[in-house]
Amino acid sequence: MAFMGYFECGFIFFLSLLDSAFAQIVYSVPEEVNKGTVVGNIAKDLNINVHDLESRMFEIVTGSNKKYFDVNLKTGVLFVNERIDREELCVSNQKCSLNIEALAKNPHHLYRVEIKILDINDNAPHFPVKIFTVNITENASPGERFPLPVAEDSDVGSNSLKEYKLSPNEHFSLDTQSEDQSVSAELVLNKALDREKQATIKLVLTGVDGGKPPKSGALNIIINVMDINDNNPVFSQPLYKVKLKENVAAGTKVISVSATDLDEGMNSEIVYSFVDHGKKQDLFTITPETGDIVVKGQIDYEENPAIELRVRARDKGSPPKSTQCKVLIEVIDDNDNAPEITVTALLESVKEDTKSGTAVALVTVSDKDGGKNGIVHCALKGSFPFKLETSYNNHYSLVVDGPLDRESVSQYNITITAADEGAPPLSSSTVITVHISDVNDNAPHFPAPVINAFLSENGQAGGLMTKVTAEDSDTGENAELSYSLLDSSSSSVPITTLININSLSGEIFSLQSFNHEETKRFSLK
C-alpha cells in the first residue's frame, strides 16, 4: 500500500516491555495530518519480522467505528487512515491520546499502542456571542469596571487563548486576568462619558492565541451611554421679538417659543410656562406642551405699547432643569383714539381795544395713539379775529388777530378742531367762548343835532320845557350819561339863569316866565 512521507516533525516513540504476554509502545502524531502520514514502523518497534505480518494476520484493532490508523503489512509502517481532529476526540483536555491494539496470530499476541495526538493551531479563539452590549450611565465614574465575555479556544497549550486586545478609544482600557487555563478581561472606564457628545461607542475586543502564526477572534462591543438629566433646556434664541396689532381677537396666536434638551426621554421633555407673569396673565396664555403664546385679554397700545414676557422651559427630569427667555411684544397702534383738546382761558374777557398778538387762551391737544395716529393738527373752524399760534409740540396760543368791536360783536363762540394723521383720520372739536369787554370808545349822541322846543309866554317859572335823550353805544359805566347846559359866550345873560336841566333825566325846566315881545327865540347847548 502506497503511503505519504513522514510528517515534518519527528515522531517520538518508546517501547516498554511490560511482560511476555504483551508490550506497549507510544507514538505521537499531530492532528489534521494527511491520510497516509507515517506514524512509525510498528513491525520494527515490536521486533516482528516484516515478512511474518501477513502470515500472522497482523492487524490494528480499535473500539470505535473509525479506524484512524492502519498497518502496511508489506512494510510494517503504521500510518494515518482517517482525519484526526484532536478537539473532536478530546475536546479541551490538555492531553489527548488514542489507545489502539495490534493483534498478531499464530501465535496469538496482543500489543498495546498509545498514540498521542498533538495539537496544532487549527482553531481561532471565538466568543460566545458576536455582539456584546453594555449599558453605562453617563455619570459613571472613571475606574468603574465592566466584565466582558470570555473567548474560547479549542486548542490547548501554546495554541490556546493567550491575550485580549481592545480597539483604540479615548474612554476605555482593558484589564486582563489570567487564571489557570482561563484568560478573562474587563473594560475599565478611564474618561468620563457624555451621552450628548457620543451616545454610542463601538469597540472591538480581539482574543489572540499563542500559535505561530497566531489566530484571533473578534467581539463587537456596543456601549450604550445611558442618559442622566445633566443638560438644561436651551431656547432657539434668548430673545424673541414680535409685533402685534392692538385690539386683536382673543385666541390669536402671537408667537411660538421653542427649546430643546440634549438629554433624552423624560429628561428631554419640556413644559413651558410664564415667569412672574403678574397682570400680564390677563393678556396672554402659553400652551405648556407647544410653547404657543396666545392672546387672552384686551391688547391696548395706549396702556402697553410694549410688553415683555419671560418664559420658562423646564424638563421632566428628576430633579428638573430649566432655563428662561424673553419675549418682547411690540404693540402696533390702531387709530382708535380721537385727539383730545384742552383749553385754558387766560382772560375772563377780552377788551375790545386789545392789541393783535395778545394771548387769550392756551390750547393743548393730545392723542393717545402712536406714530401717525398720534400726530395731531389743530385749527380754527370759521373766520374770527383770532388765530392759533404754535407754542411748542401740540401746544398752542389763541391770540387776537384783528380789531375787536364790542358794539359789533360782544361774544365769539370759536370752534377749535383737532385731527390726527391716521387712516382714516379721527378728529374732535371744542368751542371756546370769548367775551369782549367794553372800553369807552363811543361818545354819547343825540338823535338829532337840533331839537326845537316851544314855550308859551308868560308861563309859570319851573315848567317843563322839553326833554332830551342821548344814547351811548358803550355799556356799563361807559354808557351811563349825565346832562348839563353849556353857557353860550355870545349871550349877555347866563343861560343857567333862564333854564335848568335835570342831569340824570335830561328834562329841561324854565326858571322864569318869558315874554314873547322881549324874547322870541333863544338857543342853548
Contact status, residue 412 vs residue 436, Cβ threshold 8 Å: yes
User: Which pLDDT score is estimated for 6?
Assistant: 32
Which residue do the cell numbers 433646556 mark? Answer: 233
Cis, bond preceding 319 (omega within 30 deg of 0): yes
Q: Indicate whether 252 pLDDT > 60.
A: yes
Query: Are 53 and 142 part of one and the same domain?
Result: no
Q: What is the C-alpha separation between 300 and 334, in angstroms, rounded?
A: 9
Q: How confident is the model at residue 490 (pLDDT cuts 50, 70, 90)?
A: low
Domain co-membership, 455 together with 506? yes
pLDDT at residue 492, rounded to an integer: 67
Q: Which of 226, 242, 277 is the last residue of a domain?
A: 226
Q: Are residues 479 and 421 in the same domain?
A: no
Q: Can you spell out the DSSP letters for 169-182?
A: -SSEEEEEEEETTE
Banded pLDDT at 23 (limits 50, 70, 90):
low
Convert the pLDDT of each residue in 443-456 to its tens digit.
999 999 998 888 88
**pLDDT higher than 80, residue 229:** yes
As a whole number, mean pLDDT of residues 151-180 equals 92
Bond preceding residue 213 cis, omega within 30 of 0: yes
In a domain, 7, yes or no: no
Q: Cα–Cα distance between 143 and 191 in angstroms, integer?
A: 9
Which amino acid, residue 394?
N
- Burial (CB count within 10 angstroms: exposed 0-12, middle 13-18, buried 19+), residue 42: buried
Whether residues 46 and 101 share a domain: the answer is yes
How many residues can be counted in the chain? 525
Say if residue 250 is in the same domain as residue 307: yes
Residue 94 lies in a domain: yes
Whether pLDDT at 10 is above 50:
no
The continuous run of DSSP H or E covering 23 comes out as: strand 23-30
Model pLDDT, residue 391: 86
Distance between CA atoms of 124 and 121, rounded to whole angstroms? 8
My answer on whether 521 and 425 are in the same domain is no
Same domain, 450 and 430: no
Examine the pLDDT at 190 and tell me if it is beyond 80: yes
CATH of the domain at 366: 2.60.40.60
Domain boundary among 332, 352, 371: 332
Burial 435-466 (b: 16+ CB within 10 A, else e): ebbbeeebebeeeeeeeeeebeeeeeeeeebe
Instruction: Tell me, yes or no, whether 429 and 502 share the same domain.
Output: no
**Segment 203-230 mean pLDDT:** 95
pLDDT of the residue at 9? 37
| Residue 33 vs residues 7, 85, 199, 248, 379: alpha-carbon distances, Å | 8, 9, 50, 94, 122
- Is the peptide bond between 288 and the residue preceding it cis, with omega within 30 degrees of 0? no
Buried b (16+ CB within 10 A) or exposed e, 490-523: eeeeebeebbbbeeeebbbebeeebeeeeeeeee
- 189: which strand partners? 172
- Answer with the residue of higher pLDDT: 441 or 17: 441
Q: Does 111 reside within a domain?
A: yes
- Closest C-alpha among 188, 219, 216 to residue 205: 219
Which pLDDT score, from 0 to 100, does residue 276 have?
A: 78
> How many C-beta neighbours within 10 Å does residue 431 have?
11
pLDDT digits (tens, 9 = 90+) for 392-444: 889 999 999 999 999 999 999 999 999 999 889 999 999 999 999 999 999 99
Kindly state whether residues 403 and 461 are assigned to the same domain. no
Task: Kindly report the average pLDDT of the chain as a whole number.
Answer: 89
State pLDDT tens for residues 26-78.
999 998 999 999 999 999 999 999 999 999 999 998 766 788 999 999 999 99
Residue 288, C-beta contacts closer than 8 angstroms, at least 6 positions apart: 271, 272, 273
- Tell me which of 134-138, 329-333, 366-370, 456-460 is least confident: 456-460
364 with 429, same domain?
yes
* Same domain as 322, residue 258: yes
- The full DSSP string for 374-415 is G-EEEEEES--SEEEEEEETTEEEEEE-S---TTT-SEEEEE
Place of cell 501465535: 107
Residue ending a domain, among 406, 437, 468, is 437
* Residue 451, H or E segment: none
The model carries a pTM of: 0.59
Which of 362, 475, 369, 361 is CA-nearest to residue 424? Answer: 369
Q: Residue 185 corresponds to which cell in the numbers above?
A: 478581561
Alpha helices, H only, 205-357: none
Is residue 21 in some structural domain?
A: yes
Q: Is residue 6 part of a domain?
A: no
* Amino acid residing at 507: E
Task: Let me know how many helices (H) and strands (E) the chain has, helices first.
Answer: 2, 35
Peptide bond connecting 424 to the previous residue in cis, omega within 30 degrees of 0: yes
**Contact criterion met (CB below 8 Å) for 143 and 191:** no
Mean pLDDT for 496-513 is 89
Show the DSSP H helices in 84-128 as ranges.
Answer: 86-90
Inside any domain, residue 8 = no
Q: Is residue 97 part of a domain?
A: yes
Q: Which pLDDT band, with edges at 50, 70 and 90, does 24 fall under? A: confident
Q: Which of 80-94, 129-143, 250-264 has the lowest mean pLDDT?
A: 80-94
Output the pLDDT for position 13.
37
| pLDDT (0 to 100) of residue 243 | 96
- The tally of domains found in the chain comes to 5
Question: Given pLDDT bands bounded at 50, 70 and 90, which one contains residue 3?
Answer: very low
Proportion of the chain above pLDDT 90, given as a percent: 71
Range(s) of the domain holding residue 405:
340-437
The per-residue pLDDT for 16 is: 37
Mean pLDDT, residues 6-20 taken together: 36
**Together in a domain, 245 and 326:** yes
Residue 491 lies in a domain: yes
pLDDT for the residue 453: 87
Q: How far is CA 211 from CA 155, 157, 161, 162, 163, in A?
A: 9, 9, 9, 9, 12
Count of C-beta atoms within a 10 Å radius of residue 173: 12
pLDDT at residue number 393: 87
Whose CA is closest to 68, among 27, 92, 35? 35
pLDDT class of 371 with cuts at 50, 70, 90? confident
How many CB atoms within 10 Å of residue 271?
15
Q: What strand order describes the sheet that includes 239-245? A: 239-245, 322-332, 306-315, 270-274
Q: Which residue has the higher pLDDT, 393 or 129?
A: 129
pLDDT at 220: 98
Q: What is the pLDDT of residues 377-388, one digit of tens each?
A: 999 999 999 999
Distance CA 91, CA 154 (A): 7
Contact 459, 465 (CB under 8 A): no
Q: Are 244 and 299 in contact (CB under 8 A)?
A: yes
Cell of 448: 338829532
Q: Describe the chain by its helix, strand, coil percentages, rounded to 5.
A: 5, 40, 50
Mean pLDDT of 104-120: 91
Cβ atoms of 293 and 257 closer than 8 Å: yes
Give the residue ranges of DSSP H helices in 164-305. Answer: none
pLDDT category, 488, cuts 50, 70, 90?
low
